[in-house]
A and B are shown apart, each in its own frame.
Chain A
Amino acid sequence: MKPAPFAYHAPERVADAAALLNEFGDEAKVLAGGQSLVPIMALRLARFEHVVDLNRVDELRGIERTNGTVRIGAMTRQADIERDPTVAEAIPLLAKATPFIGHFQIRNRGTIGGSLAHADPAAEYPAVAVALDAEFEVTNPGGTRAVPADEFFVSTFMTALDTDDVLSAIRFPVWNGRCGFAVEEVARRFGDFALTGAVCAVELDGEDKVARSAIGMFGMGSTPLRATDAEAAMAGASVIGLDLEEVGRTAAAQTDPPDDIHASATYRRSVGAVVVARALRRAIEEAQRG
């Protein structure tokens, strides 16, 4: 047995999970899909006295559309998101990002809440949440509060979640109109965490001018990043004369990517500009097709 010993708790209600976390404080860890946490435990990079498993909390699962929002329970599995017709229709960016996560065996267990709460800066879902201004529903013994995506991610593997907080759901706003969405990434092997990647959403008006855009970058810093300078540069511009390579360089210029054994910061900035440009091009083409 590779992980260090721990006491196992499998609550069936969110309130019970939050109560357990409140009782054990930082000696406890929440277990969601386990596709990142269990390897960390097996390699003994971390050890916990208590593991609170959310897999038996049924109320944390499900996909629900109400008016302009899709609410996804935190324990909804990536494989279910991948197959869900509501997600495909209402949050295409999330649907398109999902096949990039690991492999189908990983997505059968991995959850959206686990991926977000783990907050790997090279992961796809956090970038989608930041790009789309998703709202995080967080439950603790005191009640439930909403945390905006740009406040949720604090640093590498660090979020705004406190020790007794359970991430219970994520709410994504639905984009309507002439919209297009695309995900591009560069990884050593398909299914690996990305060296750099971009998720883009573009809305065009009737004259092919950019009514709205959202660019999320991952692998480019200690959190997923929003390319606000590049979005501002595109606002109101006609897509016909738009230099997307230049927009990509503007996006990358706003980042301070890491230097590590996988890639240098210079490489990430250079390739990051290209993936932003590619994703924007595909998103614009999709929006034009209507």
Chain B
Amino acid sequence: MADSVAVTITVNGQGREAQVEPRKTLADFLREDCGLTGTHLGCEHGVCGACTVLLDGDAVRACLLFAVQADGAGVTTVEGLTPSDGALSPVQEAFREAHGLQCGFCTPGFVVSVTAFLRDQPNPTDAEIREGLSGNLCRCTGYQGIINAVRLAASAEGNLTSASTIV
């Protein structure tokens, strides 16, 4: 058994110290050591995107990163995207409004990815939205509702156009 390593990771603004085995992924660290089960694990080999988190602001697969690699870094999970009063983030609000989810398993990964995507591309074209969503898999919705949600979130965060033109 390889020796465990001490890490300090800032998760959603809060410093977390833990002893981790080097083979523990950041996703397992978030779920097991931090109790942040919003980060979901689907495939655990980088395909499905359910475990997407922000690492120093960049959207990454938490299952393809060992927790030791995040030592000293800042991580934002889906829990960290919501306002402290329990309200939904603009992206979450748009997913609810546009039926961007059914079972909800993939949703945290989508919400984190879309939040990063819209930060970098606030006015995406439909083609850019589709490409931006291509790293996350949903097995229920058929994606159309998700695409509508991203359009809605983009227009809500930009200069509020009528939601009726979105759907």
Which residues of B have CB within 8 Å of A53? 68-69
| Residues of chain B at interface, number, CB under 8 A | 32
Identify B60's interface contact among A6, A39, A105, A190, CB under 8 A: A105
Which segment of B42-50, B92-100, B139-147, B151-159 sits at the interface? B42-50
Which segment of B10-18, B75-83, B127-135 sits at the interface? B127-135
- Contact flags A32-54 to B (C-beta < 8 A → 1, else 0): 00110011011100000001010
Not counting A5-B23, A105-B60, A106-B135, a sample of 7 additional A-B residue pairs whose C-beta atoms are within 8 angstroms of each other reads: A1-B25, A8-B66, A51-B22, A55-B69, A109-B61, A190-B131, A190-B134
- Contact flags B103-125 to A (C-beta < 8 A → 1, else 0): 00000000001000100000000
Identify B49's interface contact among A39, A51, A105, CB under 8 A: A105
Identify B23's interface contact among A1, A103, A190, CB under 8 A: A1
| Residues of chain A at interface, number, CB under 8 A | 31
Q: How far is the CA of A6 from the CA of B5 in the complex (A)?
A: 12
A104→B59 contact, CB < 8 A: yes
Across the interface, name the chain A residue whose C-beta is closest to B59.
Answer: A105
Q: Give the 7 A-B CB pairs with smallest separation, nearest first.
A: A103-B135, A8-B22, A39-B45, A108-B58, A5-B2, A38-B64, A3-B23
- Contact flags B63-75 to A (C-beta < 8 A → 1, else 0): 1111011000000
Across the interface, name the chain A residue whose C-beta is closest to B71.
Answer: A10
Q: At the interface, yes or no: B160 with Cβ under 8 Å from chain A?
A: no
B61→A42 contact, CB < 8 A: no
- Of residues 1 through 22 on chain A, the ones whose CB sits less than 8 Å from some CB of chain B are 1-8, 10
Which residues of B have CB within 8 Å of A10? 68-69
A8→B68 contact, CB < 8 A: yes
Which of B3, B21, B55, B60 has the most A CB atoms < 10 Å from its CB? B60
Q: At the interface, yes or no: A79 with Cβ under 8 Å from chain B?
A: yes
Which residues of A have CB within 8 Å of B28? 1
Would you give the shortest CB distance from A28 to chain B, in whole angstroms? 13
Identify B134's interface contact among A1, A4, A6, A191, CB under 8 A: A191
Across the interface, name the chain A residue whose C-beta is closest to B49.
Answer: A105
Which of B3, B46, B134 has the most A CB atoms < 10 Å from its CB? B46
A109→B65 contact, CB < 8 A: yes
Q: At the interface, yes or no: B148 with Cβ under 8 Å from chain A?
A: no
Q: How far is the CA of A256 from the CA of B55 in the complex (A)?
A: 42
Q: How far is the CA of A4 from the CA of B52 in the complex (A)?
A: 23
- Of residues 100 through 121 on chain A, the ones whose CB sits less than 8 Å from some CB of chain B are 102-106, 108-109
A109→B44 contact, CB < 8 A: no
Which residues of A have CB within 8 Å of B55? 108
Which of B23, B44, B59 has the most A CB atoms < 10 Å from its CB? B23
